[in-house]
Amino acid sequence: MASRLVSSLLSRSLPRPIGKSSCLKGVVCSYGTAASIEEPITPPVKVNYSKLLINGQFMDSASGKTFPTVDPRTGDVIANVAEGDAEDINRAVSAARKAFDEGPWPRMTAYERSKVLLRFADLVEQHNDELAALETWDNGKPYEQAATTEVPMFVRLFRYYAGWADKIHGLTVPADGPHHVQILHEPIGVAGQIIPWNFPLLMFAWKVGPALACGNTIVLKTAEKTPLSALHVAKLLHEAGLPEGVLNVISGYGHTAGVALASHMDVDKLAFTGSTATGKIVLDLAAKSNLKPVTLELGGKSPFIVCKDADVDEAVELAHFALFFNQGQCCCAGSRTYVHESVYDEFVAKAKARAMRRSVGDPFRKNVEQGPQIDSVQFEKILGYIRSGIQSGATLETGGERLGSTGYYISPTVFSNVKDDMLIAKEEIFGPVQSILKFKDLEEVIRQANATQYGLAAGVFTRDIDTANTLMRALRVGTVFINCFDVFDAAIPFGGYKMSGHGREKGIYSLSNYLQVKAAVTPLKNPAWL
């Protein structure tokens, strides 16, 4: 269901005239140099939870400090949130340790754990619109995207992991002698988890779901840019019957709370999603402390390959979605669009036209495809990459400008004549900037696509099964989308090659991140069989 919802976003195309006058008063804007963003809508939700969640209770930080979380539509403060630091991480880890060593969660039957997760999924479903509004307010993503795709995906993920809870089992294996050998799969203990700001709710589900299904306890650090939705759903999880101390949520900064969690000696496992640069720091901290295992889902610079047999109109729409979805703030965004030379000019012209039709505006308004970037830092970073593209000789086909005078809106941007050595083709921009490159044959595009430090995902658009099979096996990435993109079903594993991280999230493979494997061997006396 979730993948169909994503596809519904892809298939929506708003027919708008292309021209200099691009702002429709009181509705939405297509990009343009004179465009202005309308007055923001008052969000239909209140912030009810802004404190740390430790041992089942909301509380102030030990220091009493708070930090602001900001509305990216305006730059205004939404709420002041408790700022956790090392002392709060210590309190949270202690609560999680006690809940694991002495509490009921790992000791209740797997079926009982499953029922808690199912009740939680039902509660989230009942609060769908409220959670979607909170996510949009804190993050800037379109409300329609949050309400019809991301919150339903969240629900599906927890129901998926609820189904796994009582199906995790070990093995018995034969030995070369009179011994009975059992292989046990045990919960790993206290899991530290650090989630990013681009998909706060979904990353909560990707990490918390499998950890709880396996019987672990958790200390979760939210992204300081988007702390609100995790606190709200954590409250619902306790309403569903989660025991105290099993899930602890700390809002705070990476250099304080994040460092404390990654280096904590009583955390048994760490999972991190974020940039490759920060991932290296997290891995180093984990190694220098207690050598805890680490799952990393990091950056990407995914190629999207349009072959010579492609239906250009369909390819343009899919490539547009692959890049611009979620304001381009997606780790697996198809940010290197490789187009065969025989259809390159037609593709560029149509990609430009599609970008100019993209509706940008207040994400709470109906039919808006693109909201603001997350904050001023990301906003300036993206504009810096756009300047770099111009300076390096790429052709700016459209966009490249700020929209409006408040908030962090950027016009959908398309570059053509991009070369592999340009920064916009090498580095993760994390914004609405499409770079279109040219290739002449499969051998060349395979070499180009793999010539990167990243290996998270790739897209292939072709009608030829042999071409699809060749590229599927040649591309060194964790996921290859063929004639589709961003299909994120709960059962599909997600993760990268190379410096896009290691380990997999979602699906059956994610369970191994939160389980220990133990062999138990006992002698057999006069066995009837071996």
Q: Quote the percentage of the chain above a pLDDT of 70.
A: 93
pLDDT category at 17 given cuts 50, 70, 90 is very low
- State the average pLDDT over residues 235-245: 98
**Under 8 Å CB-to-CB from 430, ≥6 apart: which residues?**
198, 328, 329, 330, 333, 378, 381, 382
pLDDT category at 39 given cuts 50, 70, 90 is confident
For position 11, what pLDDT does the model report? 35
Q: Note the residue count of the chain.
A: 530
Tokens of 271: 């999972």
Q: How do strand 269-273 and strand 294-297 relate by DSSP bridges? A: parallel
CB crowding 193-205: b at 16 or more within 10 Å, else e? bbbbbbbbbbbbb
Tokens of 8: 């519904």
CB atoms within 10 A of CB 518: 11
388-441 tens-digit pLDDT:
999 999 999 999 999 999 999 999 999 999 999 999 999 999 999 999 999 999
Spatial separation of the C-alpha atoms in residues 361 and 20, rounded to whole Å: 17
Spatial separation of the C-alpha atoms in residues 78 and 68, rounded to whole Å: 7
For position 438, what pLDDT does the model report? 98
DSSP 284: H
DSSP 38: P
Spatial separation of the C-alpha atoms in residues 339 and 320, rounded to whole Å: 13
HEC-encoded secondary structure of 236-275:
HHHHCCCCCCCEEEECECHHHHHHHHHCCCCCCEEEEECC
pLDDT category at 30 given cuts 50, 70, 90 is low
CB 360 within 8 A of CB 403: yes
Whole-prediction pTM: 0.93
289-343 tens-digit pLDDT:
999 999 999 999 999 999 999 999 999 999 999 999 999 999 999 999 999 999 9
457-499 tens-digit pLDDT:
999 999 999 999 999 999 999 999 999 999 999 999 999 999 9
Spatial separation of the C-alpha atoms in residues 243 and 103, rounded to whole Å: 8
Helix (H) or strand (E) holding 355, with range, is helix 344-357
Q: How do strand 433-439 and strand 457-461 relate by DSSP bridges? A: unpaired
Residue of 83, 144, 224, 297 with catalytic role: 297
CB 447 within 8 A of CB 476: no
Is 39 one of the catalytic residues?
Answer: no
pLDDT at 284 over 80: yes
Residue 505 identity: E
Tell me which long-range contacts 467-472 makes (C-beta under 8 A, separation of at least 24). 467/307, 467/309, 467/442, 470/442, 471/305, 471/442, 471/446
CB 282 within 8 A of CB 194: yes
Spatial separation of the C-alpha atoms in residues 169 and 185, rounded to whole Å: 6
pLDDT at 356 over 70: yes
Q: Shortest CA distance to 379 belongs to which of 401, 356, 396?
A: 401
Report angle CA 409, 9, 222 to the nearest 5 degrees.
60
C-alpha distances (whole Å) from 338 to each of 249, 439, 448 are 42, 6, 9
For position 2, what pLDDT does the model report? 40
Tokens of 513: 């991140």
For position 304, what pLDDT does the model report? 98
**Could you give the 3-state DSSP secondary structure of residue 182?**
strand
For position 197, what pLDDT does the model report? 98
Spatial separation of the C-alpha atoms in residues 47 and 80, rounded to whole Å: 10
pLDDT at 117 over 50: yes
Least confident of 18-27, 92-101, 271-280, 296-305: 18-27
Can you say whether residue 215 is alpha, beta or left, with left for phi > 0 and alpha for psi between -120 and 50 degrees? left
